[in-house]
Structure 1
Amino acid sequence: MSNKTKELKGILVNQLTSKPIGISAIDFPTLRNIVKFTSREPQNYDPFVPLKNVEQIEKDVKNSYYQRLTNDKRVSNIYKFLLKEISNIHSSNTNALGSFPTSVIISLDLNQEFETKEEYLEFIKSAKQEDYIGAFYKEIEDNEIELTIPDGKFALIVDGQHRLMGMIKLFKDASNNEIKIGRNKLKDEYPNLSNQLVLDYIKQFEFNCTLLLGFDKWEQGKVFADVNFNQKPVNKSLYYDIFGSYPDPNKNDIFLSHMLAMHLNNNKDSVIQGFIKMLGSGKGFFSQAFFVEAILNHFRPKGIWASLPMDYLNDGSDYKILPKFFKSYLKAIKDVFNPYWPQDGQDTSRKYPNILCKTTGMGALIKLIDPIYRKLKIDTDFKSITSEDLTNLLKSELVKAKDKGADFFSKEGSFSGSGSLGLQNKLYTALGQELGYFKK
């Protein structure tokens, strides 16, 4: 670790938090050097089997982040915006409005071990990278604060990564005399600018920053979610992945649903292994958000498994029927309606023509678990029944609709189309009627 430190000054703000929040104006060179860019990655372990490497899994979960990957188009648009506004301000154009008025939110760990700044600085002199224990935080007076940060990328960016990334890209291109706007060189688009002028303006730019001081990853994730899910439209799969990764008394149903989705997508005995687009992207036939929400309906207060989320969090045993039931149910679906199941080579939604394993088919079939389960539980002990016997029992129910498989699940059938909730409900009703659960 470098012996160098950076100092930030700011103002403490009074908000509804138990931990301190500050605001500060931080110049681009400083912010660029202290911020670490992160992105959330899918978790590939199976939560319902014994873990072979518990320490590694715990480390991976602890260090998992909440940010989505940066979007190249958004970064490019900010890059162009900055060039336009630099040109305006350099030409003394009164229309120059090149600002980012909303805060960039960054999070900093706080040091809890040293009472004085002098002790902290003495430690930094001999500290290694892995010894970093947070910034030294000091309240001065009148809500003024001072932060001492070791040289290095120790701040996490909670919101605003596209703004900062756009400026970093422009800074790099200007430093290498490689600024381009589309296919045009800088002089072609802005004759009044040079790469050096752009650098000079960027180096003076200050970001309005909100500082989350001592917030842990879960608390940072909550702030990120509040900003990005309550105030902006963001992929729901990311939301469920973040809040399904940690138990929380107010979201235990999401936690269990996420764990089931991970199990079914990662377990080698699951017929839908690799079918779920974790984080909402990549290979698969339906999104993590869709699948988690479909399962969540069964954990609602009047759902068939309303008591199981708390049972899971309290280390009970009742919840253990879930992975067995879902794997048996999906295996039964595959066996009964096999002509409409994805075949070899049909590994993406585009290549797979039928709807059985797309949103419409899966949405209706997961909803159908309710009447099937209510009927079977009268004479079935789901804890003691073997997976094979349960699969056969479920097949004996589903086979009643086998002859209608083409109409229900093929690309030429009555329910082929977009996976809207309305279409899922129509297919659910039709399946329920064919199986004798509802009157025709």
Structure 2
Amino acid sequence: MSVNEFLAIRVDQPFGSFYSVRLNSKFILQRAYSKSASFDGAEITGAQRKLRRERLKEIGEFIDSDDAMFPSSIIIAANYYEDDRLAEEDDQWRVEAVDEGLNLYKLIVPSDKIVCSIVDGQHRLFGFEYATEDFDLNCSLYLDLPPSLQASVFATVNFNQSPVDKSLAYNLFGYQLDRLDSEIWSPDLLAINLCRYFAITPGEFFCGHINFRLKEKNVPKGNWVISTAAFVDGVLRLISRNPRLDRYEINKKTMWGLAGRKAIKADESFSMREYFRVKNDKAIEQVISAFFNAVGSIFDIKDHSDHVFVKTIGISALFQLLNEMLLKYGVDKDTIDEFPVLLRKAKVINLEDTEFFPSSTKGQNRLLRMLLHFVLDKPFAEMELREEAEKELSDKAEQYRQR
């Protein structure tokens, strides 16, 4: 294995699955972040308890001693940037099976990009910044776990071990759906709620196809499957430029209580944002349902399909296409009725061309631009492309037209 590959054991539990893996402290620090949590006047900031410098120095001294040991695991979550955006495909940590019978996997870390959140154990880890030594740590790694579900892990662990302000944890990233008024749901919390709905509702495009909370208990064997993160990221592309900032605004204290959704600013770049602000979640659900059911029908996507549209790059491109369609034609019944007509224009694209549409950020961008070109008649010249990329897409589009 390369220096960025590690053996890991998959552990399945009711909440979801994680990987037990040995990682060096220096390796994690180069790729990790921790967000401190507190109420600062009327505003909530961060996502964990604040790092205490004196405690870090004490831990640093312990690390440099002959008695140094951290046998309990550091809980980390990979594949989200610090602003709560899902990491680009090329930056995402992933696993490959080595021996599924033994739950043995290979963890692959493709780059040194900072895409790893410290869910629990931040003082132990950042204590190494005040030490001269470094050594291996026992890590419990969650992949593709959205920030709102990372919060559930943090809150559960810390409620059982040491006092934590429950309202702080819930408002920041605890997000227990059955305990919070939907008026103060953040964009990513709404996305999680929609994810649950679509994952289990018969007749919906995503039913039986979302690997909710990483454990594939709701995905029949052989079905195509996407992660919770892929779906959540897609919904956010309709609603929010900065989910973390929106969360803070919604949870600001006022003399009447928390500010609520209407506190966030309008942004015309996101087609469903106003519906989110006025708490019309049903409209968002209906638009997503109509669009993806049309995708499934027009492109004849079955449960066992191996189609670019049911891969992460395809789901991301489709959600972005949906946003552009709604921005261009408006959010109304006529537009929804036109979904099938518009999507049929994409049938000219060779969606089996995995060489041109690889599972990478480049493949996703190519797919989105090709969809915008054929479905919305958008010229490549208006897409702010480099000259060579514009020619490459133009040549490929001409090939599709001549098929």
Give the alignment's TM-score, normalised by structure 1: 0.42
Larger Rg: 1
Give the alignment's TM-score, normalised by structure 2: 0.45
